[in-house]
Amino acid sequence: MRTAKQKRKAYLYASHLLLVRAKMGEEAEEEIPRAFITRVDDFNKDIEEIYREFEAIKAKYERGEDITADLKRFRSKRPGIFALIDDLYHKEVDVADKIERAHVDPDKIKKLYEFKEQFAELADEIDLIVLDELGLGH
């Protein structure tokens, strides 16, 4: 069962998503942004380094340490990949649709979803970074 904080976060996220889609209009939904394809390619090209960084973050998280600064540092260094990772956790249907329409290589898709599964426990922390950035945190 969701807590009040989780319900509020989900409501705020859904509201934000509706606003973004309204601003984008119907035409933007038809084409696959080139940035998305580039992010998938960059993710796959740098997969070993990304895994190393996230393994270190996950280890700190499992020890109960605050990982906010680490995630923000990763986001600053690799904003496109951070956005892709956030989308994997919080916009899965949208990502799946883009992957399908872009005819992304199955090996690249597999790597994305393996990453998603391996670091799933960090999804809420990633979401908090994004919500805070949007001014919706706390």
What are the pLDDT digits (tens) for 35-84?
888 999 999 999 999 999 999 999 999 999 999 999 999 999 999 999 99
Cα–Cα distance for residue pair 58/60, rounded to 1 Å: 5
| Dihedral over alpha carbons 82, 88, 93, 96 (to 10 degrees) | 100
List of residues 6+ apart from 2 with CB closer than 8 A:
10
User: Can you read off the two tokens belonging to residue 17?
Assistant: 């998503």
Angle (CA) 88 72 106, round 5°: 25
What are the pLDDT digits (tens) for 92-135?
888 888 888 888 899 999 999 999 999 999 998 998 887 767 66
